[in-house]
Structure 1
Amino acid sequence: MEKIKVAIVGYGNLGKGAEKAINLAEDMELVGIFTRREPKTIESQSKVYSLENILDFKGEIDVCILCGGSATDLRSQGPEIARHFNTVDSFDTHAKIPEYFNDIDLAAKEGNNLSIISTGWDPGIFSMNRLLAQSILPQGETHTFWGEGVSQGHSDAIRRIDGVIDATQYTVPIEESIERIKAGEKVNFTPRDKHKRICYVVAEDGADKEEIEFKIITMPDYFVDYNTTVHFISEEELKKNHKKMVHGGRVLRIGETSQATKQVYEFKLDLDSNPEFTSSINVAFARAVYKMRQEGKIGAITVFDVPISYLSNLTAEEQRAKLL
């Protein structure tokens, strides 16, 4: 079997998860990890290269999985790398997806490449379930709840604030709101009614904690629309109590197929490791990108554009026999 040659760009939590997922994929081969850090400082059994040298590998990489953060990394790295390689990323700033899609589409077409964006679990497979549920139950309402768990994107956004050494952010669903929806109550919830955000932050010595807290709770796209609590703690306490990457969530659609006939569609995740699960999704979509590029597709796409069968390493015959 000719293996799909995959590269990892960035070696944080997502990059480490992608490495594990690729090693479990029989139809894939990891070309290497590309990092902005000094390669010799990366502890990995895989080959590690400087990101500055990635263009030396044109022709040797089928798909790059971009594992940088959405707040800053992907906005610049995504289009730049899409000009030269097929790419997969888990860009998760929902409000910026249309703009980011256009940037990637332009860059990928310039390079005659194919790039899929936002392939985590939300956006990503939660998006797929929202579309599926709405298609099946056109008369109804869809609600998405996240957590309780650690949001990598929100935690990363806090860590980008001047004066912050490290941070972990928990997204916590408001269970009372979930029960009201499942009971069939007609609601018009704001984001603040559905979730709260709890932040644990390690600040530099002498940092202005009030200013850091203000920057967090007023941050557009991340915290401003939620009830957000900020706790400043020691680095030791953060490492001891707030480094597990658990997460989860659910998509709920309450609809009617005839008068007074209520139908509840629910898709739920309960994750021990958010980054490893997200990375496993990215690796599956890397397989799909490879197949679709082989068919001549270029530009930017999303999870809505991918046949579900393309995510699997099983043949069509095996899928029909084992899974249909």
Structure 2
Amino acid sequence: MLAAFAARTDAAHPLSALEIADQPAPADREHWTRVTVRAASLNHHDLWSLRGVGLPDSALPMILGTDAAGVTDDGREVVVHGVIGADGHGVGPEERRSLLSERYPGTLAEQVSIPTANLIDKPASLSFEDAACLPTAWLTAYSLLFRAANLKPGDAVLVQGAGGGVASAAIALGVAAGLDVYATSRSADKRARAGAMGATAVEPGARLPRRVDGVVETVGKATWRHSAASLRPGGTIAVAGATTGDPGAELTRVFFNELRVQGVTMGSREDLRALLAFLDRHELRPTIAQVLPLARADEGLALLESGEHFGKIVLVP
């Protein structure tokens, strides 16, 4: 079967480590189910894997990808939850938590094998391309807003770095949930797109009209000080990444204003079911930057690395 995989790792030039070629199809395995992939989406996790972060040489070659939607052999339309080993289903109770493409082959392939308990029914209202955007970026955004920061309608949230998958998802979910959403970007075009989605778009570091109840933080060093300064006393910085590096803690502001910092890695299967129901109920759909065939995964990953997109990049086998 055709797959996009890390044949090696290269910290400086991650795309040089990518190959797109035939790989063995998944074998039958008890408590796991084979899924024919109809759509998969890209995440920064794929680039980190190509750089060798969390992917040792002993695991190579490794098929990339944590997100997919597809069809099981018996015709069930499903969305893949890519967190493996969190509760032992399909892998045993002692297995440490990992994401697809870290210890087990990922979703950037024509087929993938998934613990059966990790398959969630796809709502008929969602296309496979839409559904494939959800299990990492949108699930993370949902967890950041509603579990980590515990935001409610009428609360205010600052989303740093509008344009990426998590940030654009957080804007859409926040607006649909009745939050007062502020979003930053260095790009005037991305600020305009965030504004069209219902956010108040501002330049990075700009003073906000009000202190916010929560911050969605995936940027790290470049935005962390602004995040801490924009929070009301007792507010929460919900963190799911640091693409510009480790920010340092701003500890004086954290303890003086009694701020909370809460980390998030995706979310549970129950969170994913709730997210799917939320999109179905609100008739909300992911922002998709581009749909490419799997054979052009290199182009999609190059676009992801450039940061010039707005929304999710989807691959279709």
TM-score of the aligned structures, taking structure 1 as reference length? 0.30
The structure showing larger relative contact order (alpha-carbon pairs under 8 Å, at least 6 residues apart) is 1
Q: Which structure shows the higher helix fraction?
A: 1
TM-score of the aligned structures, taking structure 2 as reference length? 0.31
